[in-house]
Structure 1
Amino acid sequence: WTVRKMRLHKKHFEKDGSGYITVSADNGEDLWQLYNIIVGGDVVSADTHRKVQKEVGSGESQRVAMRLSLKVDDTLFDTEALTLRVSGRVVGENRWVTQGSHHAIDIECGKGRSISVQKSVWDSFALSSLEVASDPTSKVVLLNRFEQASSTFSLV
């Protein structure tokens, strides 16, 4: 049984410990690793949708696809829906969204979308988590726990 590892598209680290990565999350394990890597104060960039007014005062709105960057306040990993919700304040200018406004980005696995994570300091835990998550040669063990009428699968 093979688990495809998180795809690491780009990484860049400075001598002062700051830097960024760009990855794609293909499965729930990738989202779990991102959940453990991303902390408050990081900047996460990803594709998202937001409802915006068509014209000022018209009352009509539309959903617009965009790429946003958020300074992270909080993350939430939903194990049932296999989504990672990253919430925070918008950084950088955007035609549709004002800088400093609150937004949440829902990252779903298997959509092939890239996610960038920028940190002022990449600590040893984040770096080792990234290495394990993206190293195609690392091994994954599947555990299965049976309890009465249910079974729980875990990747170790």
Structure 2
Amino acid sequence: MRITGRDPSGEGIRVQIETDEDIWHLYNVIEVGDLVTASTTRREEKAADKIRAERAEKKRMTLGVRIEKIEFSEDDLRLKLLGTIETGPQDIGQHHTLILENGDSLLITKRHWRETQLERLDRAVRDSKKPRIVFVSLDQDDATVAVLRQFGLKEVTTVRSGRSGKQYAEKPQADGYHAEVISKVVPLMEPNMPVVLLGPGFEKESLADDMKKAEPELFKKVHVYHTGQCGMVGINELIKTGMGAEVLRESSVGAEMEAVEQLMTEIARNGLGTYGTQQVRDAAMSGAVEKLLVLDTKIREQDLDDVVRAVESQKGSVIVVSSQHDGGRELASLGGMGAILRYRTE
């Protein structure tokens, strides 16, 4: 994401969507009541021929829409903003839907920008420079391909080897299993993108060799790790336990899941962990919070700037956790808010 301008009044910020992940960041910034101005298409107004207006050709125009409903689609990574037209060349007061995608530019105008929303935009700018990570979690029977994006893991596909025990013993490389896995991974790749291979057994080492032989330039950064399980379970195991930290340290999701795992461990052993909105707020105001974890959906729905300021003023850290991965779902089960403490408050 790029921030391309700010209104002198401080109410409006213009941004350029540069990656698919920016759509998710905007979903966590834009809220009902905002005025969003963007280029869109709409049928020309036909004052003299209302009956045939539906058949009129759609024209591109810039409209400002006061937002009444927000819809995010993870499958096609689009943001739909439904509301009433307030500014533009026609149809003032009528309803319109803005559909935002990668490459679009928009102006977001709010009556009041929360600090957490401004930080979210700054984070989107920083994160756009970080590479995605492709995972292949496999054993001799199945390979799950997934992509780690800025807001969560996305399972792409599963490849089945179709092997029998005898075939595997006699011709482990002659069945096309690895070639099919590689064919699924190649379209996901970008320059310098890391690939993480994981799972039990030795299939991952064999696949790593085949990848480097097939596409040596594309697969320059292949990392291999042993996990007890394969599939999405194995990928989550890798991230939660901190294995592969040298690869995942630049990933927001990796840091979020590791922090949630640390919180859950502290809570389980009745240590320096607490959760619940009021308990965390009290701890923050007393200066006891070392690390604050807040679910993105909670921070979108509530103004928690006072809690964030209290933690940061005492040199604590704040992690906004995505609801789109296992760590976020665990934090949601605790009410969407938790903290790792410097000292016990009770």
TM-score strictly above 0.5: yes
Does the aligned pair in 1 maintain the 2:136–2:143 contact within 8 Å? no
Q: Is 1:64 aligned to residue 56 of structure 2?
A: no
Which residue pairs with 1:82 in the alignment?
77
Which residue pairs with 1:48 in the alignment?
40
Does the aligned pair in 2 maintain the 1:44–1:115 contact within 8 Å? yes
Q: State how 1:132-147 maps to structure 2 within 5 Å.
A: 132-135=123-126, 142=133, 144=135, 146=137
Does the aligned pair in 2 maintain the 1:31–1:82 contact within 8 Å? yes
| C-alpha deviation, 1:51, in angstroms | 1.9
Q: Is 1:91 aligned to residue 86 of structure 2?
A: yes
SS in 2 for 1:29: helix
| C-alpha deviation, 1:54, in angstroms | 5.2
Structure 1 CA distance for aligned equivalents of residues 131 and 80 of structure 2? 25
Cα deviation, 1:21-79, whole Å, max 9, x if unaligned, reads 11111111111101110000000000000123556227251111000000111111212
Q: Which amino acid aligns with 2:65?
A: L
Change (3 A) 1:108 1:71: same
Which residue pairs with 2:116 in the alignment?
125
Q: Which amino acid aligns with 1:116?
A: L
SS in 2 for 1:68: strand
SS in 2 for 1:48: strand
Which residue pairs with 1:19 in the alignment?
11
Structure 2 CA distance for aligned equivalents of residues 29 and 136 of structure 1? 9
The structure whose residues are more often helix, as a share, is: 2
TM-score (norm 1): 0.79
Change (3 A) 1:55 1:137: closer
Q: Is 1:104 aligned to residue 97 of structure 2?
A: yes
SS in 2 for 1:135: helix
Does the aligned pair in 1 maintain the 2:39–2:63 contact within 8 Å? yes
Does the aligned pair in 2 maintain the 1:145–1:151 contact within 8 Å? yes
Identity across aligned pairs (percent)?
A: 25
Gaps of 5+ in 1: 1-5
SS in 2 for 1:37: coil
Does the aligned pair in 1 maintain the 2:63–2:88 contact within 8 Å? no
Structure 1 CA distance for aligned equivalents of residues 7 and 78 of structure 2? 26
Does the aligned pair in 2 maintain the 1:89–1:103 contact within 8 Å? yes
TM-score (norm 2): 0.38
Does the aligned pair in 2 maintain the 1:54–1:62 contact within 8 Å? no
Does the aligned pair in 2 maintain the 1:37–1:126 contact within 8 Å? yes
Change (3 A) 1:137 1:86: closer
Larger Rg: 2
Which residue pairs with 1:3 in the alignment?
none
SS in 2 for 1:33: helix
The structure whose residues are more often strand, as a share, is: 1
Q: Is 1:151 aligned to residue 145 of structure 2?
A: yes
Q: Which amino acid aligns with 1:73?
A: E
Q: Which runs of 4+ in 1 moved over 6 A?
A: none
Q: Which amino acid aligns with 1:86?
A: L
Does the aligned pair in 2 maintain the 1:53–1:62 contact within 8 Å? no
